[in-house]
Structure 1
Amino acid sequence: MVFRFGQEVQTPDRARNLELLMTSADAYSSFTVGGNTRKYHGLFVRNGRLLLAGLDEMVNGTRFSSQHYAGSSNTSALRYLQAFSAYPPSWIYMIDDIIIQKTITFNGNLLVTYDISGDADLWIRPLITDRSVHEVLKDPRPVYRHERDGFRWGDLYLETDLSYEPNPETYRDVWYQQEYERGYEAVEDLHSPGVFQGRVQDSTVIFRCTGDTPAVQSAVRTQSLQTSLDWLEWASSAFCHGDEIVAGYHWFCESWGRDSAISVTGLLIERGLKSEARLVLKRLSDMIKGGVVVNRFPDNYHSSDASLWFIHALFSYRRRWGDDSFMESMKPVIKSILEEYPMSGVASLDHNLISVVPKSTWMDTAFTPREGKPVEINALWVHALSEADAMGIGAPVNPEAALEEFQQFWNPERSCLYDLIDPVDPAIRPNQVIALSLGLIPQPHASSALKTINASLLTPYGLRTLSPSDPNYQGRYTGDRSYHNGCVWPWLTAYYVEALLRNGMPRERIRSMLIPILYHLREAGVGYISEIFDGDWPHVPRGCIAQAWSVAEIARAYRLLHVQE
């Protein structure tokens, strides 16, 4: 199974909205079919810095690369584009009687291969800079050294099989459409040290950008990927680097405690990657202070849910591999969290349930402060108490008493769970599916809650974060105000599926619900799942093009419906 596209990619809107991403440890290569549209795009990005932005390319004097400039846009090159496929990203161009197949591979080193059919003069000019991916830069002045076959810049060496001519030039006013639409500075300059040029007849030319960092060989050849789950597992590897899970590409290229704890089950545990899962869980356990798992490394502990998601991930590990030596070593950690977390700066014990400070849950903006007792926090708390008790780990609260008190979340007027109590928030939100997936709500209330969720929150791409009937609902993403007040977050899908299965819905009826999000693999970030979608039709994908917990939880939902019969 390969993602293939035909003449549709000659349309600028289509080409510019198909984004590609290849990762390797602390580096990535990302772009669209039709050129760079974000300041985060580049052929070679490492440690959060853009180094090689792109290549300006011509055959027989005709440009086939797509550059975009302030005040004008070069879309004419797309008319030569006949087909595109991924992965690896591969373009087929036809210019007069010349056929060019351009293929990009990236494993920490970058190779751009040009397979030329015909007699052609190939011209390539690298465009470089040196800046943070979160900024743009005018008039870059990188320091490099020309050599016979190319140029050396820091530890990078750029070369081809063609002749190299030093010929410095600055490309002014390069424009990034997505940054303009997001309200950020969208114009910068790029520098080119020189030109690679030569005659090519029915042969292959390779452009190389290599560094001192050893390349990482891909464990999977994408030609062997046949199913949606194969691709989701391929995508999973993009986020997993040693003991870290990267939260998302492009602007969350760092490890977050909450995101890691939620994602580790779908990305590693359910894939049977035991040693890799241990590394991630061990790192999180080493970063606990006062019962609280770090949220943003190295020292942001303002998360009232990361500790509970961490315990939840340990229980997933235990279900997969039992009480092995690692799990035994984690029992004291679980005990300390259960004892210290309720007395931490982000959470406190109120009777048998947990009350939290504002902006400390996964809905963490000023528009969803959720101070009080959030439903998913307390669902995870009650579940942790029960599982710990079954493991012989003492807890400060009786699990049965906590479960009984948890029933206060039932909202009889709306036939679902309150999102928050003490104070009560009657807004219909999706966080209640965590409780339903864990079986904390008895019948007939559980079925009634699912009916309310289906009627108010369900979309083709997952659950809205707020019912459209709510006066605070925002159907289009516009920033923090809408982030958790209407946007669809796919990561909740697996918990919704678990809730449906637990309450008697047959797998065959649920499977069709996943079809739209699986088709999304060939949209936006090709091969990945986006961070969020608009709550309103047509549910445009927004945010990061590749989000760890989106991939993890859609993969987990798929396994629940197709593998775990």
Structure 2
Amino acid sequence: MYFGKGSWKSFEQGAEKEWLVANGLGGYAAGTVIGANASKYHGLLVAALNPPVERVVLLAKLDEQVEAGGITYNLASNQTNGEVTHFGYVHLQRVIIDPLPCFIYSFSDITMEKHVFMLRDQNTTVILYRFYNGALPATLRFTPLVNCRDFHHNTYYGQLNFNSQPLKRGVAVSAVSGVPPLKIISSAGRFNKRDDWYKGMYYARERERGLNPYEDHFMPGYFEVKIDSGEVKTITVVATIEEKFPADQIAANGEGYLLQEKVRLEQLQAQAGYSEPLARQLVWAADSFIVHRRSTGTKSVIAGYPWFNDWGRDTMIALPGLTLITRRFEDAREILSTFARYCKDGLLPNMFADGDREPLYNTVDASLWYFQAVYKFLEYTGDFDFIRSEIFPVLRDIIYCHVRGTHFNIKADEDGLLQAGSPSLQLTWMDAKVNDWVVTPRHGKPVEINALWYNALCVYEKLCRHYGEIFPYGDLPGKVENSFIKQFWYSDAGILYDVIGPDGKKDAKLRPNQIIAVSLPHSMLSKNKSMIILRRVWQELYATYGLRSLSLRDPEYKGVYTGDQLCRDGAYHQGTVWGWLIGPFISAYRRINAYSPASREQAERFIAPFIDHLRDHGVGFISEIFDGNEPVKPRGTFAQAWSVAEVLRAYVEDVLEIKPGRG
């Protein structure tokens, strides 16, 4: 993807597009295409001290200046105290994301390229400059803006005592006990120590989210590199907290490490086997979410960058797109095995806790989505032996515990339907809560939970048959099917009720949860009912990049997701558009229309807007959420795992019609 000056006619326009590179540990580097930090989550090195969590902002950015012929060209872009104070983006000529970011600056008769990438499985960022000098000698100066704080927080002058120690080709900076020193090394030039602070950096993203938008950064000094007239010079800067690979060794071979990372990414493309640009870009995007978790010693899935951790529900929904469509079958096995190992009383973890603490299990749908992930895994791999030996006993336990009853009031009722939660305990994906205010109460029998419950029973029954075992629950799937149709079908409105409360009260709000009941491989709905539901969802919930979480005709509909936490959480599931829901929507549409050529063309029209979206918000990624109101502005995390995964899965399976194959 190529961007030119038309993408940053103003500071504000350029700051809307964010880039990301990740290291496979939960650490990352991110910023805007114009080089400004517009969020407290931006930084050139955000290290995961306890992968994939305990993320710490260490190197916020590098601000560059070039002096030639007595003129100083400031390449830095910053907002300070709410105003643009550094306009370096005017010298920015092009930005290339392929998928690693490259920033090309042009001024006088000088061109400078700036490449940013991370080393895999290291908390190390490499910034590689290629300097094409003009007719006059020049001096490149770059100043590190350093921090040492949890990436959710802000730092201010006087809060931390930074200690900077000059190194042979750079500097080591420390501030907080338990956080390794940040080493910044340059392959050329010299470091000039001069302690100072950059005060009042302004983050427009945080202002938009109703949070404190100001921060100060420590500056330990600056690097200075002399460049002869007409010289083409490569300067490699390494920012790291690692000891196993000396920073000066990396700096001495920056080009080699850049090539190594490019080769790794191309190998992922070759493994996936797609030639279409959209599929290729999403395969690259998928790689960023698959991370190593130290506490389990296995792979996990980061739910979204920059601020989410790894969650069970998100992992199971995203697993087919991230690991099966991309043919990363070993990663899929590892993730399925990990969650099997941590299954407790029939529940999969909602979230792994930091360190050695027990995971949190407060979710009803992670365990049910697990069955769907296993089903898709078998479609793509046919590895029934692995499922039999490691996963099938866990599936048996999940069904048993749900029938008998387990934590959080999760239990199959006498009618076979699954109930869960309480007025103060929300267990579905629509779980926004502000203090004691439950924004979308869905305790009782939620529609998608019972659709997933039926699907899980059917998957388990088929596996029992395949392995020559007796399905111990008789006609429970049939009982669930009959109860579901009888209780959830709202014929007058042509929809499914969203929730049936403990008192039998039925919630008739039009929400997207019912599309899951249409899209799952084992559905209780007739073709006619499915078609009616799909049409209502399309008319009132579809919004270009996903489905609204509530009908725009509902009096409680909130069409804009912005403001402080109260405002944002109040809109999160009350109208906000969710990108991941486009996947089940497209799959449901194709199946209902018998995979006709016309339905394939329409599915392609559903996918097409995402090609444009890849150039907006998170460049090369798909956002978490969008406003329900036009123009459906992207919000939330700029790179969301299940959004990327479900768009990729639906595109490959339902548009390209590349069906699961045994690998």
State the TM bucket, normalised to the shorter chain: over 0.9
How much has 1:97 moved relative to structure 2?
Answer: 2.5
1:147 corresponds in structure 2 to 167
SS in 1 for 2:455: helix
Partner residue of 1:133 out of 122, 130, 151: 151
Partner residue of 2:591 out of 502, 509, 522: 502
2:193 corresponds in structure 1 to 166
CA distance in 1, matches of 2:146, 2:21: 19
1:4 maps to a residue whose letter is: F
SS in 2 for 1:14: helix
How much has 1:323 moved relative to structure 2?
Answer: 4.7
Bigger Cα displacement from structure 2, 36-45 vs 384-393: 384-393
How much has 1:49 moved relative to structure 2?
Answer: 0.1
Structure 1: gaps spanning 5 or more residues = none
CA distance in 2, matches of 1:223, 1:559: 14
Bigger Cα displacement from structure 2, 538-547 vs 433-442: 433-442
1:398 aligns with 2:410: no
2:286 corresponds in structure 1 to 236
Write out per-residue CA displacement over residues 145-176 of structure 1, whole angstroms, 9 at most, x where no aligned residue: 11232112345431221122111111111111
1:91 corresponds in structure 2 to 103
SS in 1 for 2:630: coil
1:45 maps to a residue whose letter is: V
CA distance in 2, matches of 1:114, 1:464: 44
SS in 1 for 2:525: coil
How much has 1:181 moved relative to structure 2?
Answer: 1.7
1:183 corresponds in structure 2 to 210
SS in 2 for 1:136: coil
Partner residue of 1:368 out of 440, 443, 448: 440
1:11 corresponds in structure 2 to 10
1:311 maps to a residue whose letter is: F
2:419 corresponds in structure 1 to 355
1:115 corresponds in structure 2 to 130
SS in 2 for 1:432: helix
CA distance in 2, matches of 1:533, 1:492: 12
2:219 corresponds in structure 1 to 192
Alpha carbons of 1:21 and 1:213: their partners in 2 closer, same or farther (altered >3 Å)?
farther
TM normalised by structure 2 equals: 0.82
1:41 corresponds in structure 2 to 42
2:278 maps to a residue whose letter is: S
2:83 maps to a residue whose letter is: S
CA distance in 1, matches of 2:651, 2:117: 29
> Is the CA contact 2:44–2:60 (under 8 Å) kept in the aligned structure 1?
yes
Give the CA RMSD over aligned residues: 1.9
1:452 corresponds in structure 2 to 536
1:559 corresponds in structure 2 to 652
How much has 1:337 moved relative to structure 2?
Answer: 0.3
CA distance in 1, matches of 2:276, 2:457: 41
SS in 2 for 1:62: strand
After superposition, residues 210-221 of structure 1 pair within 5 angstroms as 210=240, 211-212=242-243, 217=261, 219-221=264-266
1:262 corresponds in structure 2 to 317
1:518 maps to a residue whose letter is: I
2:561 corresponds in structure 1 to 477
How many residue pairs match? The answer is: 563
1:461 aligns with 2:545: yes
1:82 aligns with 2:93: yes
Partner residue of 1:419 out of 455, 473, 498: 498
> Is the CA contact 1:10–1:78 (under 8 Å) kept in the aligned structure 2?
no
1:339 aligns with 2:400: yes
CA distance in 1, matches of 2:155, 2:73: 28
Write out per-residue CA displacement over residues 345-369 of structure 1, whole angstroms, 9 at most, x where no aligned residue: 2312112110111411000121112
Bigger Cα displacement from structure 2, 2-11 vs 367-376: 2-11
1:300 corresponds in structure 2 to 360
Alpha carbons of 1:361 and 1:66: their partners in 2 closer, same or farther (altered >3 Å)?
same
Alpha carbons of 1:230 and 1:373: their partners in 2 closer, same or farther (altered >3 Å)?
same
How much has 1:197 moved relative to structure 2?
Answer: 1.1
> Is the CA contact 2:511–2:550 (under 8 Å) kept in the aligned structure 1?
yes
> Is the CA contact 1:388–1:395 (under 8 Å) kept in the aligned structure 2?
no
1:402 maps to a residue whose letter is: V
